[in-house]
Amino acid sequence: MSEQVWYLYQNGQQVGPFETQQVSQLFLNNMIAKDGYIFKVGWKDWRPIEEGYEALGIPNPNNPAPVSQDEYKKQVEKRLEGAPRASINGRVVVHNNGQLTIGQGVNISVGGIFVETGDQIFTIGESLKLSVRCDGLPKAFNAEASVIRFNQDTRFPVGYGLKFTKIETQAQGTIQQLVDDANKRGDRGRFVK
């Protein structure tokens, strides 16, 4: 796990700290304002977001390298290879004790879940509570998770990537069995659209 050393300032509000990967994902999902500022522990002062591209390892949008849809899908597939998961179908209730959304489960692993929903109401790093009822799981389970990304790219399901922070051992075992079965069939939780 990398250190949480990044802070953002946008829309008159400072947020953070974040890990490098979290800030990169925020940027890639257009959740950082183009006129936002960034700060890294160790820097003397805040900098415009464009001065942080290299340090974050993200492409400069002013010099975009065109990527075809096929190439983009290959990049996503490559990322998924390192994180075995299973495609799922079912309802997932997500809330923070104030706001609530009901989404569709897309894929799951013992580490987290992707929930398809157009409701962009939670922030990266926010702690959420989940109730998951999906095909392939013998019973519903409750868990806690943190938001690690929000995908807005309509070539794939739009919604939240959530990392489990608290989940029952029995639910983990059931999920692992589902993932193992999916991997035997060659289904690694690919995005279908």
The answer to whether 29 and 42 have CB atoms below 8 angstroms apart is no
Cβ-Cβ contacts under 8 Å for 181 (sequence gap 6 or more): 86
17 lies in some domain: yes
Average pLDDT across the chain, whole number: 80
- Tell me the torsion sign for CA atoms 176, 148, 114, 57: negative
SS3 of residue 110 by DSSP? coil
The pair phi, psi for residue 25, each rounded to 5°, is: -65, -40
Mean pLDDT comparison of 12-16, 66-70, 118-122, 178-182, highest-scoring range: 118-122
Supply the pLDDT for residue 189: 45
Helix (H, G, I), strand (E, B) or coil at 37: strand
Together in a domain, 35 and 106: no
Q: Could you give the percent of the chain with pLDDT greater than 70?
A: 82
In this structure, the answer to whether residues 105 and 166 fall within a common structural domain is yes
94 and 180 share a domain?
A: yes
Q: What is the pLDDT of residues 23-52, one digit of tens each?
A: 888 877 778 877 778 888 878 777 888 788
Domain count for the chain, please give it. Answer: 2
Asked whether residue 25 is assigned to any structural domain, the reply reads: yes
66 within domain boundaries: no
Q: Where are the beta strands (DSSP E) in the chain?
A: 4-10, 13-19, 37-40, 47-48, 86-87, 90-95, 100-108, 112-116, 127-134, 141-151, 159-167
| Res. 108: pLDDT tops 70 | yes
Give the pLDDT of residue 95. Answer: 92
Looking up residue 156, the CATH number of its domain turns out to be 2.40.10.220
In this structure, are 153 and 110 located in the same domain?
yes
More confident residue, 5 or 72: 5
The more confidently predicted of residues 91 and 16 is 91
State which residues form the domain around 149: 83-185
Note the pLDDT of residue 63: 61
116 Cβ partners below 8 Å, 6+ apart? 103, 104, 105, 106, 157, 158, 159
More confident position, 187 or 95: 95
Residue scoring higher pLDDT (189 or 137): 137
Burial of 145 (0-12, 13-18, 19+ CB in 10 A): buried
Residue 163 lies in a domain: yes
The answer to whether residue 73 sits within a structural domain is no
Residue 52 burial (CB < 10 Å; 0-12/13-18/19+)? buried
Residue 192 lies in a domain: no
